[in-house]
Amino acid sequence: MLTNTFLWAAVVTAMPLVEVSPRELHDLEVHQPVSIKRNPPLEARANRIIPVVVGGSQDTFVPNMIRAAAGDVIQFQFSNGNHTVTQSSEDSPCQPLQATQSGVIHSGHIPFEAGQTTVGTFNVPLNNTEPIYLYCATGPHCQIGQVMAINPPSEENLVQFSKKAAGALANVDAGAATGGTVGEIPLADAAFTPVEEEAPPAPPAESTPAASPAPPAETPSATPGAAAAMEAHHRLGY
Banded pLDDT at 4 (limits 50, 70, 90): very low
Across the chain, mean pLDDT equals: 78
- Would the pLDDT of 14 be above 70? no
Residue with more model confidence, 2 or 64: 64
Question: Average pLDDT of 14-26?
Answer: 38
Instruction: For 202-237, write each residue's pLDDT tens digit.
Output: 677 666 666 666 666 665 555 555 555 555 455 545
Per-residue three-class SS string for 119-138:
EEEEEEECCCCCCEEEECCC
- b/e map of 83-105 (b: 16 or more CB within 10 Å)? bbbbbbebebbbbbbbeeeeebb
- Would the pLDDT of 96 be above 60? yes
- pLDDT, residue 196, reads 77
Residue with more model confidence, 20 or 173: 173
Q: Is the pTM of this model over 0.85?
A: no
Any idea which of 25-29, 113-117, 148-152 has the lowest mean pLDDT?
25-29
Distance CA 64, CA 45 (A): 20
Banded pLDDT at 81 (limits 50, 70, 90): very high
- pLDDT, residue 161, reads 97
Distance CA 224, CA 221 (A): 9
Distance CA 148, CA 142 (A): 10
SS3 37: coil
- Domains of the chain with bracketed CATH: 4-189 (2.60.40.420)
Question: Average pLDDT of 19-29?
Answer: 38
Instruction: Decide: 152 and 103 in contact? Cβ < 8 Å.
Output: no
- Would the pLDDT of 9 be above 60? no
- Largest separation between any pair of C-alpha atoms in the chain: 134
Banded pLDDT at 21 (limits 50, 70, 90): very low
- pLDDT, residue 234, reads 53
Any idea which of 22-31, 96-105, 185-194 has the lowest mean pLDDT?
22-31
Banded pLDDT at 199 (limits 50, 70, 90): low
- pLDDT, residue 73, reads 96
